Homo-oligomer: A and B are copies of this chain.
Amino acid sequence: MYKTEIELTGHLIDTQLLSRVIDEITDLGGEFEVLDTTIGKTRDDVSWARLEVRASSCDKLDRIVKAAVALGAVTVDAEEVKLGEVKKDGVCPEGFYSSTNLETFVNVGGTWVEVENIEMDCAVVVDPVAKRARCCPIGSVRAGEMVILGSGGVRVASAPASDEDSGEFSFMGSDVSSERQKFLVLRELAEEMKRIRARGGKILVVAGPAVIHTGAAKHLSKLIDAGYVNVFFAGNAVAVHDVEAAFFGTSLGVNLNDGTAAPAGHMHHLMAINRIRDHGGLRQAVEAGALTSGVMYSLIKNDVPYVLAGSIRDDGPLPDVITDTVKAQEAMRSHLPGVELAVMIATMLHSIATGNLLPARVRTICVDINPATVTKLADRGSHQAIGIVSDVEWFLKELASLLVGEAVGQVAGA
């Protein structure tokens, strides 16, 4: 929903100016609210009114405002964006505008153009000739580029743009209560995943190591094999424990088939890292026939792109891990175009990092047994995130069961 304010002054009632403006707004599919009025005491006094006008697209809003202006209304945000030149690589001019993750239009030379690659906390680089605008992390601006200064001439959608099927994926608000029927939410999610796969959209999965520790990797592998995971973000630990499970049947030294501690099992993860380092990387280990199961194996076998981003907690790390955090962000960004749904499972660091990069329009499901993870994600600006406070193990098991169909039986019979 886009909005702006207009003002009316004059003999509003006698001249029917207010009535006619209201008529026009509603005729053109807009909504309005009278924010403030000063009504003249006598017939001859001048009245004044301020209205908020809302429309579902920036375009529609433009048409309404123009019609109102034609009737005598005055618009408030007609100004164009102000631009400032970048003088030094990686440094913006003071007063630069920083973006939100909501659809944004900017007034460049009288035309409202959409900001490309929308992402929160970026500068907006404008090409005034081509009339294009795009988000750019402040560390990546280059000398000579023009970035927006101040917030004049910027129109930000007040919520993710609705599209045709929005009604189908409604959930119970952005609630993170744990006292709800998660099965209902899960069913909606599964339906949405089916629709996205059917239309060739991309689903991003972001995962933390609990996926492996809880033994849920086999369910995730099923989803990968069935084409429900199109991009995968994680850290070193997920891959390490996944490989540990493939090599030793343990995760953090605990046997996944019976929950007992393996003798000297605490060394397994280092042995797993070491072995993959010896191969030169995960793909090489798969190609050498050494790594034959697990989430990473499924991703590689199905040619699903993945980004393993480094953190200072990492052991090893695996050769596949991008240890430079700025480069890791870039790698993550490069896989986002086309993503329609992000499913974040049991990881606060990677969920927040991914949330920072995602446009608000990308539906985001955050599954964690700790409600604080979901709350933090929303606090950090990813308001579109829907939280499911739940067991990772059972969430993935049920999801695989709904989408692939055999998971339940297999586990129950395991």
A residues adjacent to B (C-beta < 8 A): 12-14, 16, 18-20, 22-23, 26-27, 31-34, 37, 39, 88, 90-92, 94-98, 121, 137-139, 151, 171-172, 177-185, 209-210, 213-215, 254, 256-260, 264, 266-267, 269-271, 273-275, 277-278, 309-317, 323-329, 332, 348-350, 352-353, 356, 369-372, 379, 389-391, 393-394, 398, 401-402, 408-409, 411-412, 414
Contact = CB atoms under 8 A, between A and B. Distances in A.
Closest 6 CB pairs of A and B: A312-B353, A310-B325, A394-B394, A181-B215, A184-B259, A13-B19
Contact of A34 (B32, B172, B182, B414): B32
Number of copies of chain A assembled together: 4
19 contacts: A12-B19, A13-B19, A16-B19, A90-B277, A96-B270, A121-B315, A139-B317, A178-B210, A180-B213, A183-B411, A184-B258, A184-B259, A311-B349, A312-B325, A312-B329, A312-B349, A323-B324, A372-B372, A408-B409
Nearest to A321: B325
A323 B349 CA distance: 15
Contacts of A139: 277, 316-317
A181 B311 contact: no
B391 A179 contact: no
A117 B278 CA distance: 25
Contacts of A37: 22, 26
B138 A316 contact: yes
A237 to B, nearest CB: 10
B412 A259 contact: no
A267 B98 contact: yes
B352 A313 contact: yes
Contact of A138 (B34, B260, B274, B311): B274
Nearest to A212: B179
A259 B171 CA distance: 8
A94 B279 CA distance: 13
B325 A314 contact: yes
A27 to B, nearest CB: 6
Contact of A277 (B138, B178, B179): B138
A259 B379 contact: no
Contacts of A324: 310, 323-325
A79 to B, nearest CB: 16
Contacts of A182: 214, 391, 393-394
A214 B183 CA distance: 9
A88 to B, nearest CB: 7
- In this complex, which of A13, A179, A315 has the most chain B Cβ atoms within 10 angstroms of its Cβ? A179
Contacts of A214: 179-182
A213 to B, nearest CB: 4
Contacts of A390: 369, 391, 394
A248 B70 CA distance: 42
B274 A91 contact: yes
A34 B394 CA distance: 46
A180 B215 CA distance: 8
Contacts of A264: 151
B411 A389 contact: no
Nearest to A389: B369
Given A12-B19, A90-B277, A313-B356, 8 more contacts: A16-B19, A138-B315, A172-B254, A183-B411, A185-B259, A310-B326, A313-B352, A369-B369
A390 B27 CA distance: 53
A274 B98 CA distance: 11
B18 A39 contact: no
Nearest to A275: B94
Contacts of A267: 97-98
A294 B400 CA distance: 29
Contacts of A313: 349, 352-353, 356
A121 to B, nearest CB: 5
A357 to B, nearest CB: 9
